[in-house]
Structure 1
């Protein structure tokens, strides 16, 4: 590793590399083409950032191209890579669909050394003659199995046709195995396989199944929204169901954001920002966000709809419990769904009945200096304890005592029959009518 990187790592207290970071460092630095596999949340972006950036030459044009399957992942990768590129005085440019293309073209004229983009926008710029890649030294495919499928694979093919240089290093990264025949045929080379998926790493992700009828799943989310310091990404199989649920939660005044393919890049970026800041309780999305997105310390992932296969479950679950931290995956469904889920994934799944209290890792203690708040909190705790023991809130108990006092004061009067009371009221009304209009006597 470059000594400048080591100095920065030491300053932030980073001491241990993950298995994938250690395994790919030397082959990448030597210019080898690799097919690297590792579980989600194990630092794959930094795994290719640290070895490759020191090999680039400042002010020598576009030398490294990183492709990602979504705008969100491309922007996230841009932020991570730029942090380290600044140390070496290298420029990074993001080329994603939905963003202002004119601004991107203006930045391209400065010939940044590192490009991070989505296949659609990159192939568009190449097709229009706006992007030349003759100086390229390395091509990275992040989430390669996703990029080498269907229409995206055709865009990758167009990009590679513009490069067409056997000396260009190609590195495939992901958590799911790539079809080697497709990769070898497209890039006309053999790849060094580096598989770290079965290397033991510390993890604290719990997997739970919550039996829930389909018409009760929205209410489950509403109940979970009342829990403090709790956030979750909620995954759906269809955009239609996502939007129905979003409307329900909005009506229930639950703070949430949506991340849907087809929305503008500005809208999607705003949703992610709100969720990362904690102003949104839930981030509702389809599997567009199941790939590579990093939400630091995300407490939980919820499968509103069960994924269609184990691979998708793995990628969804990878949004929580990243880098060995605690995480929780909750899946909704019926008995049939539970059987399918157990066949789908080889993890221990606990069945949970009812909505339990979830203690989040993000909970923070109250500052000791805030005495007023502490007193209020202590008072509130006493009220909650009293409620749990008696079933009556303190304020309700006070009201009950007041009512008892009034009743006691009333009961201290002599007992009067209903007939006598009505006669007395009738007499008082007759006397009032008789004296109406007469001047009051002076004493």
Structure 2
């Protein structure tokens, strides 16, 4: 199956070809035809499976085919983090390269004036974090009353982060008659229940359940005491064959502390989390992508927006207490058939977390003995 078999218009096919894509992923293959028919969607697929393209590509086509002379915001994409908003905006730019449609992303942590100026010129597609959107709506700077398509991306994380009331406020301002696309990496009962209240006879698509981890990722675990974790991390990262590694910390404070310790040990590193300014976060991510720094320390929420094609190495400095989060973390490596390595540190207080993770993924990770 190739993209050209999905009844896509020539400008979209041209952009896809230019981006170097040939075959759609499973979520794209299953979602795009339903979206083009105007159906509501519940799409469940884990991180790294191409969810953004599965809604961005058909949205661009629908807006182009039903073009409007008025410069209203016609599509609203809600997403939980600044990084994801930027990433989605970049995707729309790629797939819409040969279309006259306009888009922009709005998010907190940066001055609002530039965002407002772009919106005032008129945009077809608005990508937004809930907080900044509500803020600009309250100032009368954004009107979403003419929305034709609404997308909730990473819905599970958005609702986990406490945005449910913000989302409900936004839903009251969009037309009842609309197409709604609901994408999530996990679909627990409360998320599903919420989805059913905002969707109209949705088509449900489930691809790559969250319990599965890529076969291309080599997973292992060290049993290590808390006060020995830092020494172990430094020892591992002294291996220069590890060109880049994404290291997960449970807390923002812990991430900053790790950066200081690694830099002191002569290892280039930066942190990305919610307390950092948008410019600092973007610089850390850009430096990591171009290998100006080898190590990026991230919290789970910030990491949802990290989209790096070639990331060979992930370290769980602290195991997550939610098993599905482990799958999301290591899903950052081993993408698109590439091989990857995922190493986890487990102290005595986290053995229950390890047990729950191994129960979810269906196998016991090999234990690496320390010398």
Q: Same fold (TM over 0.5)?
A: yes
* Matched-pair contact (CA < 8 Å) for 1:290–1:315: no
Distance 1:12 1:63 in 2: 25
- 1:7 aligns with 14
Q: Structure with the greater relative contact order (CA < 8 A, sep ≥ 6): 1 or 2?
A: 2
- Inter-CA distance 9–94: structure 2 relative to 1 (3 Å threshold): closer
- 2:28 aligns with 21
- The SS at the match of 1:331 is strand
Correspondence 1:103-182 to 2 at 5 A: 103-149=114-160, 151-163=162-174, 165-178=175-188, 179-182=191-194
Distance 1:98 1:109 in 2: 20
- Inter-CA distance 347–330: structure 2 relative to 1 (3 Å threshold): farther
- The SS at the match of 2:361 is coil
- 1:68 aligns with 79
Give the number of the structure whose alpha-carbon radius of gyration is greater: 1
1:245: Cα distance to partner? Answer: 1.8
- The SS at the match of 2:97 is helix
Distance 1:137 1:272 in 2: 33
1:162: Cα distance to partner? Answer: 1.2
TM-score by length of 2: 0.89
Find out whether 1:42 has 2:49 as its counterpart: yes
Find out whether 1:346 has 2:334 as its counterpart: no
Residue range with higher mean Cα deviation, 330-339 or 143-152? 330-339
* Matched-pair contact (CA < 8 Å) for 2:108–2:131: yes
Greater fraction of residues in helix: 1
- 1:228 aligns with 240
Distance 1:74 1:47 in 2: 16
* Matched-pair contact (CA < 8 Å) for 2:15–2:95: no
Distance 1:154 1:262 in 2: 22
TM-score by length of 1: 0.75
Distance 1:75 1:45 in 2: 12
273, 278, 301: which one aligns with 1:260: 273
Residue range with higher mean Cα deviation, 210-219 or 57-66? 57-66
Task: Please report the RMSD computed on the Cα atoms of aligned residues, expressed in angstroms.
Answer: 2.2
1:190: Cα distance to partner? Answer: 4.2
1:304: Cα distance to partner? Answer: 0.7
- The SS at the match of 2:195 is helix
1:271: Cα distance to partner? Answer: 0.9
- Inter-CA distance 193–113: structure 2 relative to 1 (3 Å threshold): same
CA-to-aligned-CA distance 1:132-181 (integer Å, 9 cap, x gap): 01221111111011223463011111111111x22111111121115222
Distance 1:264 1:334 in 2: 32
- The SS at the match of 2:115 is helix
Distance 2:258 2:213 in 1: 36
- 1:54 aligns with 61
Distance 1:343 1:162 in 2: 41
Correspondence 1:246-395 to 2 at 5 A: 246-334=259-347, 337-338=350-351, 340-344=353-357, 345-348=360-363, 349-354=365-370
* Matched-pair contact (CA < 8 Å) for 1:94–1:116: yes
- 1:99 aligns with 110
List runs of 5+ in structure 1 lacking aligned partners: 356-443
Distance 1:267 1:59 in 2: 39
- 2:217 aligns with 205
* Matched-pair contact (CA < 8 Å) for 2:130–2:167: yes
CA-to-aligned-CA distance 1:27-48 (integer Å, 9 cap, x gap): 1112211110112211111111
Distance 1:42 1:99 in 2: 30
List runs of 5+ in structure 2 lacking aligned partners: 1-7
* Matched-pair contact (CA < 8 Å) for 1:237–1:286: yes
1:229: Cα distance to partner? Answer: 4.4
Distance 1:31 1:166 in 2: 15
Distance 1:210 1:150 in 2: 30
Distance 2:199 2:333 in 1: 37
- The SS at the match of 2:57 is helix
Distance 2:240 2:316 in 1: 20
* Matched-pair contact (CA < 8 Å) for 1:68–1:117: yes
- Inter-CA distance 308–318: structure 2 relative to 1 (3 Å threshold): same
Distance 1:180 1:79 in 2: 29
Distance 1:90 1:201 in 2: 37
- The SS at the match of 1:100 is coil
- 1:194 aligns with 205
- Inter-CA distance 232–59: structure 2 relative to 1 (3 Å threshold): farther
